Amino acid sequence: MFECTIEKLVDKDEVYFISTLKDVTDKKESEEMMIRSEKMSIAGQLAAGIAHEIRNPLTSLKGFLQLLQAGLTSKEEYYQIMLEEIEKMESITSELLFISKPLTDNKKTEAINEMIEDVVMLMKPQAKLKDIQLGFESEETAFIYCDRSQIKQVILNLVKNGIEAMDQPGTIVIRLEANHESVIIRVIDEGGGIPSDLINKIGEPFFTTKQSGTGLGLMISKQILAQHNAILDITQNKDRGSTFHIIFPVK
């Protein structure tokens, strides 16, 4: 894999163009390795919440099966409940498997609302463990041209960071706004906030305000957004916490 740069050089009446090719194969491989490592780390951290969320439907299924074994008569009603519990587990495990898959590069027009709803469903068990309410607010359906897998990874990273930043019960809100110029996703947490003198450093490799963090999650998120011509802006909330703004330009 190569990067190509072209420079224009003017010497009196002559115009020259100088092209430089640089082999960036090792750089790309290192970036992909960091992304895989971060994704697997996230999957591991979510395991406790996911296990708790799956245990409840399994307990229900076990109870209904025992009732059926005992000769329960009104079976149809319980069959429906059992199917709903199984579908709930399928949805959770599908989203968890999504995290561990390699990032693709397949851009097309996607409904951002659906992507956020998937992330909320996956992160709710993790939030529940810390008594945090996770909500999604949107007045309309918005579409962006993106790689679905990559943008879901970015939103998941920001929600995960918000949960980790909160030491006491509270709320994290994902708010979707759209106008004729941009589509904006805001992740609003109630954590300790980020000091103003450190905000510009957020996203640098291995810089983090968390005791057990690496800083790679936000660095990867910024790289993904740059590939989508989008930006990540961070502001302090007036009362408590931080807001992460993902801004997509509308083509």
pLDDT, one tens digit per residue, over 119-133 is 898 888 888 888 999
Angstrom distance (rounded) from CA 124 to CA 131: 10
User: Could you report the per-residue pLDDT of 146-179, keeping only the tens digit for each?
Assistant: 988 889 888 988 998 889 888 899 999 999 999 8
Angstrom distance (rounded) from CA 184 to CA 144: 10
C-beta atoms surrounding 218 within 10 Å? 23
More confident position, 29 or 99: 29
Q: What is the pLDDT of residue 99?
A: 59
User: How far lies 196's CA from each of 201, 214, 234, in Å?
Assistant: 10, 20, 10
User: How far lies 172's CA from each of 22, 78, 150, 199, in Å?
Assistant: 43, 35, 21, 19
Confidence band of 186 (pLDDT split at 50, 70, 90): very high
Q: Which residues neighbour 127 within 8 Å (Cβ) at sequence distance 6 or greater?
A: 49, 133, 134, 163, 172
Residue 162's Cβ-count burial label (10 Å; 0-12, 13-18, 19+) is buried
Parse the chain into domains and list their residue ranges. 104-249
The CATH number of 104-249, from 3.40.50.1360, 3.30.565.10, 3.40.190.10, 3.40.50.620, is: 3.30.565.10
Q: Decide if pLDDT at 74 tops 70.
A: no
SS3 (DSSP) at 138: strand
More confident position, 229 or 18: 229
The percent of residues in the chain predicted with pLDDT above 90, rounded, is 22
38-60: average pLDDT: 68
Give alpha helix (H) positions in the chain: 25-69, 75-100, 112-129, 148-165, 216-227
Give the residue among 20, 33, 13 at the shortest CA–CA distance from 102.
33
Q: Decide if pLDDT at 205 tops 50.
A: no
The percent of residues in the chain predicted with pLDDT above 70, rounded, is 71
More confident position, 4 or 187: 187
Q: Decide if pLDDT at 238 tops 80.
A: yes
Angstrom distance (rounded) from CA 217 to CA 243: 16
Q: What is the pLDDT of residue 31?
A: 63
Candidate from 21-25, 32-36, 170-174 with smallest mean pLDDT: 32-36
Give the residue among 210, 118, 215 at the shortest CA–CA distance from 166.
210
